[in-house]
Amino acid sequence: MTQDIYAALGVKRRINAAGTLTRLGGALMDDEVVAAMAAAARASVDIGELQAAASRAIARHTGAQAGIVTTGAAAALTLAAAASMTRWDIARMAALPHAEGFANEILLHRTHYTGYAHALRAAGARLVDLGHNDRSTGAGVRGIEPWEIEAAITPRTAAFAFSANPSNLSDLPVVVKACRSKDIPVIVDAAAQLPPRSNLRRFFELGADLVAFSGGKAIGGPQASGILAGRRDLVGAALVQQLDMDVSPETWAPPDLIDLKEMKGIPHHGLGRGFKAGKEEIVGLLAALERFAAADDAVSNAALEKRLNGISNALGELPGITKRIAPARETGRVPQLYLAIENPLALSRRLQAAATPVHLSERFAAQGILIVDPQALRPEDDAALAEAVRTAVLA
Ligand SMILES: *Cc1c(COP(=O)(O)O)cnc(C)c1O
């Protein structure tokens, strides 16, 4: 059925051992998640009420005060930036993305400036870079320091953005401590920091005010879904800028998360109106989150390692290739099979040009490694993947 849909469109199905990459469609959803989305598609609900229910579920799984479903982690970052700049001020909400008249600067350490910084700027924020962070650049032993942050905070500062990865987590409490006393929200991009499952709670335990997760990566939800979770007031200010606001003030019944008392009126469509999360995405994300949170890292990693061993055995000895399975504790996420080879991108190009294209992760190509990432690899494709790699290497 699924294959027929793509074939009918003249679109090739691909064997994806590159991970939950957005450009390859993100995660694959379990049948139960697909069924939840299909069921959600067949009835009308109030989206604000549905987001409030999502908030309760997200709070239960993350320990955050509140959370909403977004159309991805990048959208969550844009909404987080907007909420940090506006809080409950509806005139500011109306002004965005023009934010020159109020605190519109987001502090960002140089080593946290990723391709997703654009998502923060999209809300109208101006990014202010700071710090040296020699530990991240490899130039020395010092990481983010409180005085650098304190010196950078001005009345124009709206938030601090932090792009989390396994090696920089120890910097987060330093940032939180420096920002908290000045009421500067700390926004964490944790889009791809799952698994480990403990990271659902970790960033909140470390004091983050807002955290963005992808729904279409490890959580296994719809590709166009994500989570923005954190402080109730900020999540509420994000939600009111995401919802359809073509409402009659006389009849509108917003969820509790939206604090009517704090607002001087009812805002119009906000900056996030174009990032609307549909009922299908919201319900699908929640179904996926339930399943993800209930599973066990050790069990799922052991199963993935077993599959990678099978793939490695099926590959056998290949000239010019050294194989090694990197366990989850090394990769920081899931176990992966590393293929060390002289010209990794040439092999990757051949694999992608096959009749059924095959994708390996090129993340470490500069170090001469292609990675078999099993996260979005269908078990029934394991044998075909090994065969395709053998064919491409021996060609
Ligand atoms: C994938 C990713 C994003 C974007 O997530 P989407 O859910 O695709 O919007 C943002 N930041 C980082 C670090 C990511 O890896």
Confidence tier at 387 by pLDDT (50, 70, 90): very high
Number of domains the chain contains: 2
Nearest-atom index, ligand 1, CA of 216 = 7
The span from the CA of 83 to the CA of 99, in Å, is 12
Going from the Cα of 332 to the center of ligand 1, the distance in angstroms, rounded, reads 16
Confidence tier at 152 by pLDDT (50, 70, 90): very high
Say if ligand 1 is within 6 A of residue 74 CB. yes
**SS3 at position 318:** coil
pLDDT at res. 4: 86
Q: Which residue has the higher pLDDT, 292 or 131?
A: 292
The span from the CA of 392 to the CA of 395, in Å, is 5
**Ligand 1 binding pocket mutation candidate from 20, 22, 108, 168 (most atoms within 8 A of CB):** 22
End-to-end Cα spacing for the chain: 33
Q: Which residues contact 121 (CB under 8 A, 6 or more apart)?
A: 81, 127
224-230-231 Cα angle (round to 5): 135
pLDDT tens digits, 187-236:
999 999 999 999 999 999 999 999 999 999 999 999 999 999 999 999 99
pLDDT at 2 over 60: no
CATH code of the domain containing 382: 3.90.1150.180
Q: Are 72 and 152 contained in the same domain?
A: yes
pLDDT at res. 138: 86
* Closest residue by Cα to residue 333 from 371, 288, 368, 370: 371
Whether 86 is covered by a domain: the verdict is yes
Whether 34 is covered by a domain: the verdict is no
Say if ligand 1 is within 6 A of residue 192 CB. yes
Say if ligand 1 is within 6 A of residue 189 CB. yes
Say if ligand 1 is within 6 A of residue 168 CB. no
Whether 31 is covered by a domain: the verdict is no
pLDDT tens digits, 303-324:
999 999 999 999 999 999 999 9
Going from the Cα of 217 to the center of ligand 1, the distance in angstroms, rounded, reads 9
Q: What is the pTM of this model?
A: 0.96
Confidence tier at 326 by pLDDT (50, 70, 90): very high
* Cβ 371 vs Cβ 385: under 8 Å: no
State percent of the chain over pLDDT 70: 99
How many H helices and E strands in the chain? 16, 12
Whether 130 is covered by a domain: the verdict is yes
Whether 367 is covered by a domain: the verdict is yes
Q: Which residues contact 365 (CB under 8 A, 6 or more apart)?
A: 344, 345, 348
Confidence tier at 365 by pLDDT (50, 70, 90): very high
pLDDT at res. 323: 97
Q: Are 201 and 269 contained in the same domain?
A: yes
Q: Are 16 and 63 contained in the same domain?
A: no
Look up the domain containing 383 and give its range: 5-25+296-394
Say if ligand 1 is within 6 A of residue 105 CB. no
pLDDT at res. 120: 98
The span from the CA of 213 to the CA of 20, in Å, is 13
**Ligand 1 binding pocket mutation candidate from 114, 214, 373 (most atoms within 8 A of CB):** 214
Q: Are 170 and 56 contained in the same domain?
A: yes
Whether 261 is covered by a domain: the verdict is yes
Residue where one domain finishes, among candidates 254, 276, 294 = 294
Say if ligand 1 is within 6 A of residue 19 CB. no
Q: Are 326 and 227 contained in the same domain?
A: no
**SS3 at position 37:** helix
Going from the Cα of 24 to the center of ligand 1, the distance in angstroms, rounded, reads 13
Q: Are 300 and 285 contained in the same domain?
A: no
The span from the CA of 185 to the CA of 123, in Å, is 15
Whether 319 is covered by a domain: the verdict is yes
3-class secondary structure for 148-198? HHHHHCCCCEEEEEEECCCCCHHHHHHHHHHHHCCCCCEEEECCCCCCCCC
Q: Are 385 and 273 contained in the same domain?
A: no
User: Sign (positive/negative) of CA torsion 383, 15, 166, 80?
Assistant: negative
| Mean of the per-residue pLDDT values of the chain | 96
Q: Are 88 and 181 contained in the same domain?
A: yes
Mean local confidence (pLDDT), 31-35: 98
Closest-CA residue, ligand 1 atom 2, reads 191
Q: What pairs with residue 188 in β-bridges?
A: 162, 211
pLDDT tens digits, 51-89:
999 999 999 999 999 999 999 999 999 999 999 999 999
Residue where one domain finishes, among candidates 271, 294, 317 = 294
Whether 287 is covered by a domain: the verdict is yes
The span from the CA of 81 to the CA of 158, in Å, is 8
Going from the Cα of 226 to the center of ligand 1, the distance in angstroms, rounded, reads 9
Say if ligand 1 is within 6 A of residue 216 CB. yes
The span from the CA of 244 to the CA of 270, in Å, is 8
User: Sign (positive/negative) of CA torsion 350, 356, 361, 362?
Assistant: positive
Closest-CA residue, ligand 1 atom 14, reads 191
pLDDT at res. 132: 82
The span from the CA of 69 to the CA of 213, in Å, is 10
pLDDT at res. 133: 81
Closest-CA residue, ligand 1 atom 5, reads 73
**Ligand 1 binding pocket mutation candidate from 20, 21, 116 (most atoms within 8 A of CB):** 116
Say if ligand 1 is within 6 A of residue 86 CB. no
The span from the CA of 285 to the CA of 226, in Å, is 7
Phi, psi (rounded to 5 degrees) for 322: -110, 130
pLDDT at res. 3: 56
CATH code of the domain containing 94: 3.40.640.10
Looking at residue 368, its amino acid is G
